[in-house]
Structure 1
Amino acid sequence: MLTLLQHRAPDSVRRVIAAREGEAHFVAGFADVRSLAAEAIARGIGLAEMVDAAGTEGSVDPADELAAGRLMAPIDHADEAHLLLTGTGLTHLGSAEGRDKMHRAAAAGETLTDSMRMFLEGLEGGKPAPGQVGQQPEWFYKGNGTHVVGPGAPLRMPSFARDGGEEPELAGIYLIGSDGTPFRLGFCIANEFSDHLTERHNYLWLAHSKLRPAALGPELLVGELPADVRGTSRIRRGDAVIWEKPFLSGEANMSHTIANLEHHHFKYPMFRRPGDIHVHFFGTATLSFSEGIQTQPGDVFEIEAAPFALPLRNPLAIAGPTDVSVRSL
């Protein structure tokens, strides 16, 4: 198993770390994962082969670097507008329960909420046979590279937000090749931070509730994702853990295949623009909000899951007020 990490030294010099078989080294000649992946695409080889071709130097301990605050999100783009954050919901077995609770009040008198109908459609048609197209999932836009938060950095809810809640997920990371082909670089753990109170008020406000930052775990897992991923999501307040629950991901615990979710995202030509980076969140079934937890500034979200060796921790904060005015020219 190969994982890639992005490292920034105190003097701001950046490097890529390759970790496998219990050892980690800097990759020679590359300052970021995007350029490493672009070179692999140009050579027609995989990322693991590219690491071997580049060579490594200097051993490093990723856990120590994480503790020292020197690990970044595992992907970024020099032009933040060319990194897109998107996601799909109602994709996991059991994921409809929390959403159904939020939306049931708005659907009084209906046998099924829209959320439950979409979940059942995915359950029936989200895992098509090879070569066939399955049911399309819920889809949302989350932002661009300005919304990417690395490990340890604050997740800032806007001053106008009504809630700041965690969503422990896996995210796929992609680079679009020069011919428009999407290349999956790998997967990372993530906190797809959202405003569930806004969403609960009216599910048509889902789009607003998703326009928030998102935290990416430090490790990019190269290759295929294990079918059964098991992790833990918790919230710390001071010295106490105020909420903790296991979560499941991977295709064995999903109502859609990863390939089906990828197809329904990249079927749009605007998402196949050469050079763009995509971070796509695959959904979750575990939310503290569904169990009545109200987060507050200073709380620390913590997400961990095998086979990732390092956790993702981020404190909750509130961004300062923004006075926006539109001027006529």
Structure 2
Amino acid sequence: MNLRLLQHRSGNGRRSVIAAQDSEAHFLLGVGSIRALALDAIAKGLSLAQIVAAAPKGDAVDIAAEFEAGRLIAPIDHEDAAHVQLTGTGLTHLGSAEGRDKMHREAAAAEKQTDSMRMFLEGLEGGKPAPGAVGQQPEWFYKGDGSQLVGPTDPLTMPAFARDGGEEPEIAGIYIIGPDGRPYRLGLALANEFSDHVTERHNYLWLAHSKLRQASLGPELLVGPAPEHIEGSSRILRNGEVLWEKPFLSGEGNMSHSLANLEHHHFKYDLFRRPGDVHVHFFGTATLSFADGVQTQEGDVFEIIAAPFTLPVRNPLKRAAPVEVTVKVL
């Protein structure tokens, strides 16, 4: 049975946490956030599953209906958005066997490998070290703080200066830093990492610029061991019709890096082990509509779903109004 935790906000703003297993779901009495629940579990030396089992149950709830009503919010947050860090890793997924073979052939034929190709191959060779060993470090990027995290059905808004707004169907690890500075993985969430692929393709050194964008999470936090294989579907709707759709794979069985290796190379920095902070770390993808020549436009809707999650992450695309930025010298 897959335990999933969801955060609910009623019409009057009252927050609750929902525990779901299989087709059943109920509110947890006296619990206002998953972060608070996690800190309670850490303080009591219990797992999230144990603290949920000990919590008194409230009313049953239809999570699909609550999702459609827009009352499910991101499955993690913080009262101060500055204490949520959005980061991620790229070049972590194997893709299809044909794609891997093609990359190897091109790498062997090339007189000089590109930096991206070299990093990908280094990940294939050293991204899954033996337990206790340190493997090859991955590509890493920063997306922003919690102000950039939007809800499962909220718009993803690209800046006025953006050259593209494209989906990235991913799995994200959700973490909290305990009072002693130890990172705790609370679980996994379905995610749309959302990037500017035109900017990134112009020059890979602009990757950092392309990643400073919003991101969204599906409403369910999957608690417990990470699945080895996750299979889902990513699609774009335009005017209510499917414009593009493609399956995607994730989970360690489809990755060149282990989650433990990605986590080590993120949390090895003291900066990312500040007690009480929340981290959302995107694990990467091998499936993009941009790679198939799709040009998104305002009003398109991104929809991503993958088992064992039962609800999608579904976000319309918007473009922000221009903002004049001037620096005043004091």
The bucket for the TM-score relative to the shorter chain is over 0.9
Distance in structure 2 (CA, Å) of the matches to 1:240 and 1:66: 21
Q: Name the structure 2 match of 1:307.
A: 308
Distance in structure 2 (CA, Å) of the matches to 1:110 and 1:136: 24
Deviations along 1:64-99, whole A, 9 cap, x unmatched?
00011100000011000000000000000039969x
Q: Name the structure 1 match of 2:162.
A: 161
Report the residue type matching 2:36 in the other structure: S
Q: Name the structure 2 match of 1:24.
A: 25
| SS of residue in 2 equivalent to 1:320 | coil
Q: CA deviation at 1:110?
A: 5.5
Q: Name the structure 2 match of 1:241.
A: 242
Distance in structure 2 (CA, Å) of the matches to 1:261 and 1:6: 27
Distance in structure 1 (CA, Å) of the matches to 2:74 and 2:173: 13
Q: Tell me, yes or no, if structure 1 residue 183 matches structure 2 residue 156.
A: no
Distance in structure 1 (CA, Å) of the matches to 2:271 and 2:129: 25
Q: Name the structure 2 match of 1:203.
A: 204
Q: What is the 5 A alignment of 1:72-151?
A: 72-94=73-95, 111-151=112-152
Distance in structure 2 (CA, Å) of the matches to 1:275 and 1:312: 26
Distance in structure 1 (CA, Å) of the matches to 2:37 and 2:14: 16
Q: CA deviation at 1:112?
A: 2.0
| SS of residue in 2 equivalent to 1:209 | helix
| SS of residue in 2 equivalent to 1:252 | helix
Q: Name the structure 1 match of 2:253.
A: 252
**Matched residue pairs, number?**
322
Q: Tell me, yes or no, if structure 1 residue 67 matches structure 2 residue 53.
A: no
Distance in structure 1 (CA, Å) of the matches to 2:66 and 2:111: 53
Q: Tell me, yes or no, if structure 1 residue 194 matches structure 2 residue 195.
A: yes
Report the residue type matching 1:283 in the other structure: G
| SS of residue in 1 equivalent to 2:260 | helix
Distance in structure 2 (CA, Å) of the matches to 1:13 and 1:94: 42
Q: Name the structure 2 match of 1:15.
A: 16
Q: Tell me, yes or no, if structure 1 residue 287 matches structure 2 residue 288.
A: yes
| SS of residue in 1 equivalent to 2:219 | coil
Q: TM-score, normalised by structure 1?
A: 0.95
Q: Tell me, yes or no, if structure 1 residue 47 matches structure 2 residue 53.
A: no
Report the residue type matching 2:313 in the other structure: L
Q: Tell me, yes or no, if structure 1 residue 324 matches structure 2 residue 314.
A: no
Q: Name the structure 2 match of 1:228.
A: 229
Deviations along 1:190-249, whole A, 9 cap, x unmatched?
000000000011110000000000010000000111101000000010122111100000
Deviations along 1:139-187, whole A, 9 cap, x unmatched?
0000000000111100000000000000000000000000000000000
Distance in structure 2 (CA, Å) of the matches to 1:301 and 1:97: 25
Distance in structure 1 (CA, Å) of the matches to 2:323 and 2:41: 42
Distance in structure 1 (CA, Å) of the matches to 2:86 and 2:185: 14
Q: CA deviation at 1:111?
A: 3.4
Deviations along 1:91-121, whole A, 9 cap, x unmatched?
00039969x99xx9xxxx8532111110000
| SS of residue in 2 equivalent to 1:174 | strand
| SS of residue in 2 equivalent to 1:188 | strand
- Deviating 4+ runs (over 4 angstroms): 95-98
CA RMSD of aligned residues (A): 1.7
Deviations along 1:247-267, whole A, 9 cap, x unmatched?
000011000000000000000
Distance in structure 2 (CA, Å) of the matches to 1:134 and 1:97: 23
| SS of residue in 2 equivalent to 1:218 | strand
Task: Report percent identity of matched pairs.
Answer: 68
Distance in structure 2 (CA, Å) of the matches to 1:308 and 1:161: 31
Distance in structure 2 (CA, Å) of the matches to 1:204 and 1:110: 21
Deviations along 1:35-56, whole A, 9 cap, x unmatched?
1101111111011111122221
Structure 1 gaps, min length 5: none
* Greater alpha carbon shift after TM alignment, 47-56 vs 120-129: 47-56
Q: CA deviation at 1:28?
A: 1.1
Distance in structure 1 (CA, Å) of the matches to 2:137 and 2:37: 32
| SS of residue in 2 equivalent to 1:162 | coil
